[in-house]
Amino acid sequence: MDIKQLMNKEQYEAVCHKDGPLLILAGAGSGKTRVITYRVANLMDKHGIQPENILAVTFTNKAAQEMKSRIKKAVGKSADKIVISTFHSLGCRMLRAHAERLGYTKSFSIYDEDDRERLIKECMHDCKVSDKEMRPYDIIKRISSIKNELITPKQFEDLYAEDYESKAISRIYTLSELKLAKNNAVDFDDLISKPIELLKKNPDILEAYREKFKYILIDEYQDINNSQYTLISMLAEKYKNICVVGDDDQSIYRFRGADITNILEFEEDYKDAKVIRLEQNYRSTKTILKAAHAVIKNNEGRKGKELWTENDVGEKITFYYADDETMESEAVIKEIYRIINTQDIKLKDIAVFYRTNAQSRVIEDRFRRAGVRYKLVGGLSFYARLEIKDMLAYLRVISNPKDVMSIKRIINVPPRGISDTTVDKLEAFAFENDLPFLEAMEKSEAMPDVKGAAKIAMKNFHDFILSMHTNKDTTTMKEIMARIITETGYISYWEDDPSPKAKERIENVKELVSAMAEYEEGKPDANLDDFLQQVALMSQSDKLDESDEAVTLMTIHSAKGLEFDLVFLTGMDEGIFPHKNCMEEPGGIEEERRLAYVAITRARKKLYIMSAVSRRQFGTKKVGAISRFVNEIPEDILERKGRLPVKQTQEKFYGNGPDDEPAADACPAPGADPVYNDEPQEDPYMAGQKVKHAKLGQGTILKTEPYGDDFKITVLFRSAGKKVLSAKFAGLEKI
């Protein structure tokens, strides 16, 4: 088989490269998997490289299996001798082989996240560190970061433990490492850091692995973190036959430690590196690629490349500006019905993307009502999420106080001091006295083996539910939810929770409030029972999600590596995408822009971009602004529909490039939820006011004007000229 006939010039050049470092900048849809497959085959067939001397590493087990399957198809059974694995699998393999060198046995345990949390809490207790002064999750995250930087407990104690917090973390880190060793256990960070320790302490083992893995291939190189970079660098040091494949424009995992500088600085690490750019795209139309490049070219931190294709020009990108999120979803549905009835497109060829999980609620609701089959990827159905099930349990008990299963779910959520043991005793008491479960709570004074505090908590819970039940038919659903949230402290409960999903849960509860307000709007006879019935019927239709013939709903992070004929990119509003927190973090806008680039390049034939004039937050509509990424797309390839027949003028509102970016907050991980700002109380600035910007320097305000829930401020800077900024995000200092 002549593989030269199967690929383009650049692909063939990458495949034929034998010795020395090679950087393959593989753009979206450029056929990188084909290149990886035939490169390995070429090393074996043409150059006689033994399969056991080849190491191929990627990030997921699914990707590793796909890689092995393709290589096996090309070279046969000898592919089984190639080490093709994830980073963590590789590290585990090395530790299993040489565990005794580090004081472990080969049967060591691997602690998951729950195990690690329990371990850290135990260490906090032993170190007399209260979870009120330091959150376990924050400590876990800090220790993980320390391990990623390959800093030992002794090094951290000597170099970084200066203030109280750092000293506490030092003690906990030291103790947790001792306990892990005593338990013959490692955590996931150790699966990378421990092999590095092994190789550093044992030159003979390092030399053996260097001789074994003479040819190394790393996929998705833009996503590696510091410890992964160090491990691979050590293995490749002798022969330097390292081939890395990646795309700096698709680096979207900074939240989990990925460092884009690893791919940007590859040529500095390996001075004689060869760089090959795969820029021919086999997936998308010329129009889609033009839009993608128009967006990503605004990033400064990139190698620079421009995808091209021999595919057709294709249709223009449709930008639809809806009244609100409901109209946005209905516009998507209307277009889907039009397409499947007029074109040879199936539901499984269509995807709907969103930046955050909470956005799926409206989309799911509308799809169910319209009878459009869908499957949810990368997250639970909105009504199946823990916090939504909690809220629905409250609503069901208020509607039907005899619903014992729902009572049990929420009796100690948020915690009220009613333990599982107390619940068991209460159930026995109710049975012995032939009382309904809720009524037994009212009579808990007659339970001698239950503490007084628990009795008071049960009585209060009973009184709250009974009061809500009595008044449910004369209270609006929005007021019912407001009272549940206020009197139970449910949102405060999650605000105090340090887990990464806490903010998402809060926003999902707010989204439920919006769903109820939307259901009630314009319906004078709307009631709680009807709403619960509708939700119950919706949930039963989840079986449709299992069908392959369904539209795919997913976050953009989940979409990386996938492709669809038609893509609907929803929620393209400032504050949602780009996410507000990312807008305020140095480098955050560039990562959000890379995320937009990933979203755009998932589309093969047609791309729809959706934005809305306003969206609900906590039951109240808030006015927003169209995402800056939309306005970076050339007008000649846009077809505008909906509320705006012509391009919206934003005058670089919120900033439109690195010089305009405010600094300073934490960019959320995927699944974090949209943030809308409160209504402004008053204009914070006035014309003529002297101000100072962290990057733009000193200037004078020329004018201010309301803009949705914010203010636009026109400032004449001494060196940067005239800029239009957001009052809330610019961080201007009055002088």
The series of mean pLDDT values per 10 residues for the chain, 735 residues long, is 80 94 93 89 91 90 82 88 89 90 82 77 90 87 91 92 89 92 83 95 96 95 92 95 91 78 90 94 96 95 90 96 92 94 92 90 89 80 84 88 83 92 89 87 86 90 92 87 92 86 89 86 81 64 53 90 94 91 82 95 96 81 89 94 56 35 43 39 68 81 71 78 76 80
Q: Residue ranges of the alpha helices (H) in 433-555?
A: 437-442, 452-471, 477-488, 490-495, 502-520, 528-540
Strands 690-693, 697-707: pairing is antiparallel
Whether 207 sits among the annotated catalytic residues: the reply is no
> Catalytic: which of 602, 605, 615, 728?
602
Report the amino acid identity of residue 184: N
Can you read off the two tokens belonging to residue 529?
A: 């029972």
Residue 644's Cβ-count burial label (10 Å; 0-12, 13-18, 19+) is middle
> Catalytic: which of 177, 220, 387, 574?
220
φ, ψ of residue 729 in degrees (nearest 5): -105, -15
For residue 289, the model assigns a pLDDT of 97
Residue pair 352/553 in contact by the 8 Å Cβ criterion = yes
Strands 215-218, 22-26: pairing is unpaired
**How many helices and strands in the chain, by DSSP H and E?**
29, 22
The count of C-alpha atoms lying within 13 angstroms of the C-alpha of 667, restricted to the half-sphere facing its C-beta, is: 25
Strands 551-555, 274-278: pairing is unpaired
What angle (nearest 5°) sits at the alpha carbon of residue 85, between those of residues 558 and 140? 60
Any idea which residue has 């503490």 for tokens? 451
In the chain, what are the helix, strand and coil shares in percent, each to the nearest 5? 50, 15, 35
Dist CA 219 CA 59 (whole Å):
8
The model carries a pTM of: 0.66
Dist CA 586 CA 396 (whole Å):
45
- Per-residue burial over 142-153, b if 16 or more Cβ lie within 10 Å, else e, is bbbebbbebbeb
Closest CA to 29 of 659, 461, 636, 564: 564
Whether 33 sits among the annotated catalytic residues: the reply is yes
Closest CA to 245 of 220, 278, 226, 223: 220
φ, ψ of residue 551 in degrees (nearest 5): -70, 140
Contacts of 439 (CB under 8 A, 6+ apart): 430, 462
Distances (CA, A) of 465 to 213, 429, 450, 469: 66, 20, 21, 6
φ, ψ of residue 7 in degrees (nearest 5): -150, 170
Any idea which residue has 């080849």 for tokens? 54
Whether 220 sits among the annotated catalytic residues: the reply is yes
Can you read off the two tokens belonging to residue 497?
A: 């929770």
Task: Give the three-class secondary structure for 544.
Answer: helix
Contacts of 333 (CB under 8 A, 6+ apart): 366, 367, 370, 372
Residue 25's Cβ-count burial label (10 Å; 0-12, 13-18, 19+) is buried
For residue 67, the model assigns a pLDDT of 86
Contacts of 274 (CB under 8 A, 6+ apart): 17, 20, 21, 22, 23
Residue 315's Cβ-count burial label (10 Å; 0-12, 13-18, 19+) is middle
Whether 259 sits among the annotated catalytic residues: the reply is no
Closest CA to 31 of 284, 266, 295, 305: 284
φ, ψ of residue 272 in degrees (nearest 5): -100, 25
Dist CA 682 CA 385 (whole Å):
38
Any idea which residue has 């001798």 for tokens? 81
Number of other residues whose CB lies within 10 A of the CB of residue 347: 19
The count of C-alpha atoms lying within 13 angstroms of the C-alpha of 628, restricted to the half-sphere facing its C-beta, is: 24
Residue pair 694/663 in contact by the 8 Å Cβ criterion = yes
Residues paired with 308 in a beta bridge: 280
Dist CA 157 CA 166 (whole Å):
8
Report the amino acid identity of residue 246: G
Any idea which residue has 């500006």 for tokens? 321
Closest CA to 731 of 682, 689, 694, 697: 694
Closest CA to 543 of 364, 349, 375, 347: 375
DSSP 691: E
Whether 152 sits among the annotated catalytic residues: the reply is no
> Catalytic: which of 11, 32, 189, 504?
32
Closest CA to 305 of 491, 505, 35, 29: 29
Dist CA 447 CA 428 (whole Å):
10
Task: Give the three-class secondary structure for 707.
Answer: strand
Dist CA 457 CA 463 (whole Å):
10
Dist CA 85 CA 542 (whole Å):
35
Whether 96 sits among the annotated catalytic residues: the reply is no
For residue 636, the model assigns a pLDDT of 95
Residue pair 593/301 in contact by the 8 Å Cβ criterion = no
> Catalytic: which of 37, 230, 250, 617?
250
For residue 379, the model assigns a pLDDT of 60
